A and B are shown apart, each in its own frame.
Chain A
Amino acid sequence: MAEYYPKGYKIPLANGSYAEIIQKLGEGGQGVVYRVAIGGKEYALKWYHKGAVQNPKKFYQNLENNVNKGAPTKAFLWPLYLTQPVDGSFGYIMELRPKNYREFSDFLLAKVHFQSLSSAVNAALNITNGFRELHRNGFSYQDLNDGNFFIDPTNGDVLICDNDNVAPYGESLGIAGKARYMAPEVVRNLKRPDVMTDRFSLAVVLFRLLFLDHPLEGKRVVEAPCLTEELELKYYGKDPIFIYDPTDDSNRPVRGVHSNAIKFWPLYPQFIQNKFITALSKDAMTGKTTRMTDNDWQLAFTRLRDTIITCPCGSETFINVAGDANCVNCGKKIPKPPVLNCHNHKYGLALFPGVKMYRCHIDKDSDDFTQVIGEVERNPKNPAMWGLRNVSDIVWNVETLDGTLKPIAKGQIAPITAIKAIHFPNSIGIIEYSK
């Protein structure tokens, strides 16, 4: 087995400086991660085990290319510098992972929990956006699995790691991956990983993130006493069945075994369930129909976040933009709050205290779900009165119930009961009240 570099050992970098080993942080199948210092600042060094990479020259060149191109978004723990090839191997430098981020597998193993519904949904949104931007930059990830993410349980911020396998479209680094996350055609060895197979893996990752079980592992997989390599080929490759496939109930989750799926799946609104049903339908899995795009997912999770409110019981829950809902925690009825219908029902934002309005809601050309534009607040003197505060530099024109237009500038609040519609520079948001 590998010998480790001692503290103080210096590894030369391709750019002429060097990384000094501080300590070993962890080890995986492919290599070892060290804490290192470069010019007084601390980083992480991933150092490959000798022989761990199939085609080292190509792999090294690909890393070099990725370093030069730079990270698609700040969610990526991207290779920053390469080492020189020394001692028969090589490695790359990336930022250290901050302590508030936990491994995805820790969530699956219930070592850590999402603090709220919105932190889980934000994590889904952040992972989706990361892959959308990665794909838009001309890369595919190739080896998506539960080891690739670090997540902050308090807010759902995500760091995507192991970006060394990322390669431009059409390039294959000979990355094989694991059956449970790979697209059926990769498991069957019909195809090498690419953007389309990433999409399948993304659906699996998103399912596991929200429902904390595996989308293809239900009754029939549990009934197999020994999961042999041949059965894995069947269940993940030749004949995969989604546990909630409405056309085939042969692989439903099993009580006492798949407790998380049984608990969390029914809590999510139908439109989200339908996205998974589509993404993991037999036709989508076998490639007869196209797979859900990253954009579809991003829109779905942005819409989902629009419906999260805090119930009087203190728990977050989803409201139903079409009618009443029940709190996912206490079960009490939550009447439909006023909803801001944006871009002709593309988004429906629940106007409930604490809910935030983002750039994508007011700008029909934007899908920015991160820049906060407005926020619903309670009137401190009369908590039953709610208002929408403008926190952006854009002036809104609020159309009141009597038809007059009133400008709302940064910092100002419009009482929700007085709003009929809000005119933004390139779109209108219309308030819908429950009947």
Chain B
Amino acid sequence: MAGIYENAVKVARRTMTLFFLVDTSGSMDGSKIGTLNSAVEEVIPEIYKLSSDNADAAIKIAVLEFSNGARWITPAPMDAADFRWNHLNADGLTDFGEMCKMLNEKLSRKAFMSDVAGSFAPAIFLLSDGEPTDEYQKELGRLKENNWFKKAIKVAVAIGDDANKDVLAEFTGNKEAVITVHTPEALTKMIRFVSVTASQIGSKSSGVGKGGVDQATNKQNDTIEAIKTTVAEDPVGGVEIANTPVSSENQEDWDW
């Protein structure tokens, strides 16, 4: 005879959505989009494991690509368990403003943030190699008024030197949250590291014991700290964070 605990259900968990915002403009074509596709595909099982072992929150994934216009690849945030990465193709312009607009529409309790058990603020991971080709300022301005966006962990990876880092810093609200990568290896590593770290920090109850009395912690800062520490402790060639020097000296790496 089974005990009464057989009837226990999974504890109520909040949701933390990890957004991938992927630049699929023409300049991403070739090894950039190829590397990105493989790296994201490979990190998904790790995100799934983080979610399935996590008693604080479930992690969901949402993907928005932007080139000529912007498109949600996921009609709604998907459980990491069910999510399969469909390889993206690169072609067209960089409609950054359109991406901001579409993200803003979904960052709402009436749209993507509708879990009954509530949510943690999302983690938003932007990957781009270029410069907006549309008038993005107005839409980015609106997005920055969105409370979900304000509270989100925001990290951007600039792929190569042609990426407009000022725009990315404007998006993340912090120069140090913009990481520049110069090699496929660096892109692969940083996709894994940013996805995992932002998911870990974003999907857990916040850490305590830092800052002053009655001062809330800041998960965005915790994420940036974690990224900086790791890059400092375990140098990855071809990675640059804000003002830190590039750690690769191999000139062949500088093709991007």
Assess the A179–B113 pair: CB atoms within 8 A: no
Assess the B11–A314 pair: CB atoms within 8 A: no
A67 within 8 A of partner (CB)? no
Q: Which residues of A contact B5 (CB under 8 A)?
A: 113-117, 120
- How does the 8 Å CB contact mask read for B207-245 relative to A, with 1 for contact and 0 for none? 111111111111100000000011011100000000000
Assess the A109–B206 pair: CB atoms within 8 A: no
Q: Which residues of A contact B7 (CB under 8 A)?
A: 263
Interface members, chain A 202-240 (any B CB < 8 Å): 208, 212-214, 217, 221-230, 232-233, 236-238
- The size of the chain B interface, using a CB distance under 8 A, is 55
Q: Which residue of A103, A113, A237 contacts B3 across the interface (Cβ within 8 Å)?
A: A113
Assess the B234–A2 pair: CB atoms within 8 A: yes
A189-B11 in contact given A180-B205, A227-B119 (Cβ < 8 Å): no
Whole-angstrom CA separation of A263 from B212 in the bound complex:
40
Which residue in chain A gives the minimum CB-CB distance to B212? A189
One of A16-24, A38-46, A169-177 contacting the partner: A169-177
Q: Which residue, A229, A256, A316, has most C-beta atoms of chain B within 10 A? A: A229
Interface members, chain B 168-188 (any A CB < 8 Å): none
**Minimum C-beta distance from A340 to chain B (A):** 25
Assess the A176–B208 pair: CB atoms within 8 A: yes
Q: Which residues of B contact A188 (CB under 8 A)?
A: 213-214
Q: Which residues of B contact A259 (CB under 8 A)?
A: 9, 12
Assess the B200–A177 pair: CB atoms within 8 A: no
Which residue in chain A gives the minimum CB-CB distance to B11? A108
B84 within 8 A of partner (CB)? no
Whole-angstrom CA separation of A224 from B214 in the bound complex:
20
Q: Which residues of B contact A50 (CB under 8 A)?
A: 233-234
Which residue in chain B gives the minimum CB-CB distance to A113? B5
Assess the A316–B3 pair: CB atoms within 8 A: yes
**Minimum C-beta distance from B228 to chain A (A):** 10
Q: Which residues of A contact B4 (CB under 8 A)?
A: 117, 264, 267, 315-316, 328-329
A1 within 8 A of partner (CB)? yes
Assess the B113–A117 pair: CB atoms within 8 A: no
Q: Which residues of A contact B55 (CB under 8 A)?
A: 105, 108-109, 146
Q: Which residue of B200, B208, B219 contacts A29 across the interface (Cβ within 8 Å)?
A: B200
Assess the A237–B218 pair: CB atoms within 8 A: no
A385 within 8 A of partner (CB)? no
- How does the 8 Å CB contact mask read for A27-62 relative to B, with 1 for contact and 0 for none? 001000000000000000000011100000000000
Q: Which residue of B2, B116, B208, B212 contacts A256 across the interface (Cβ within 8 Å)?
A: B116
B109 within 8 A of partner (CB)? yes
A343 within 8 A of partner (CB)? no
Which residue in chain A gives the minimum CB-CB distance to B222? A229
Whole-angstrom CA separation of A274 from B122 in the bound complex:
38
- How does the 8 Å CB contact mask read for B32-47 relative to A, with 1 for contact and 0 for none? 0000000000000000
Whole-angstrom CA separation of A146 from B54 in the bound complex:
10
Which residue in chain A gives the minimum CB-CB distance to B217? A229
Q: Which residues of A contact B12 (CB under 8 A)?
A: 213, 217, 222, 257-259
Assess the B234–A178 pair: CB atoms within 8 A: no
Interface members, chain B 1-43 (any A CB < 8 Å): 1-12, 14
Whole-angstrom CA separation of A103 from B120 in the bound complex:
24
A229-B119 in contact given A1-B192, A180-B205 (Cβ < 8 Å): no
Which residue in chain A gives the minimum CB-CB distance to B117? A257
Interface members, chain B 132-152 (any A CB < 8 Å): 147-148, 151
Assess the B213–A190 pair: CB atoms within 8 A: yes
B252 within 8 A of partner (CB)? no
Assess the B216–A233 pair: CB atoms within 8 A: yes
Whole-angstrom CA separation of A187 from B117 in the bound complex:
22
Q: Which residues of B contact A105 (CB under 8 A)?
A: 53-55
Assess the A115–B204 pair: CB atoms within 8 A: no
**Minimum C-beta distance from B7 to chain A (A):** 7
**Minimum C-beta distance from B214 to chain A (A):** 5
Whole-angstrom CA separation of A29 from B181 in the bound complex:
24
Q: Which residue of A88, A212, A226 contacts B8 across the interface (Cβ within 8 Å)?
A: A212
A384 within 8 A of partner (CB)? no
Assess the A229–B218 pair: CB atoms within 8 A: yes
Assess the A260–B206 pair: CB atoms within 8 A: no
Assess the B233–A176 pair: CB atoms within 8 A: no
Assess the A226–B120 pair: CB atoms within 8 A: yes
- How does the 8 Å CB contact mask read for A108-138 relative to B, with 1 for contact and 0 for none? 1110011111011000000000000000000
Q: Which residues of B contact A267 (CB under 8 A)?
A: 4
Whole-angstrom CA separation of A354 from B230 in the bound complex:
56
B102 within 8 A of partner (CB)? no
A309 within 8 A of partner (CB)? no
Assess the B209–A229 pair: CB atoms within 8 A: no
Q: Which residues of A contact B214 (CB under 8 A)?
A: 188-189, 233, 237-238
Assess the B216–A229 pair: CB atoms within 8 A: yes
Interface members, chain A 335-359 (any B CB < 8 Å): none
Assess the A257–B215 pair: CB atoms within 8 A: no
A86 within 8 A of partner (CB)? no
Assess the A260–B219 pair: CB atoms within 8 A: no
B157 within 8 A of partner (CB)? no
Chain A to chain B: the 7 pairs with minimum beta-carbon distance, closest first = A314-B1, A176-B209, A116-B3, A229-B216, A180-B205, A114-B5, A110-B10
Q: What would be 25 A-B contacts, judged by CB atoms less than 8 Å apart? A: A1-B230, A50-B234, A51-B232, A113-B8, A146-B55, A176-B208, A177-B208, A177-B209, A189-B208, A189-B212, A190-B213, A192-B209, A212-B11, A213-B11, A223-B118, A226-B113, A226-B121, A226-B147, A227-B121, A230-B216, A233-B214, A257-B116, A263-B7, A264-B4, A329-B4
Residues of B within 8 A of A (CB): 1-12, 14, 52-56, 109, 113, 116-121, 147-148, 151, 189, 192-193, 196, 200, 204-219, 229-230, 232-234
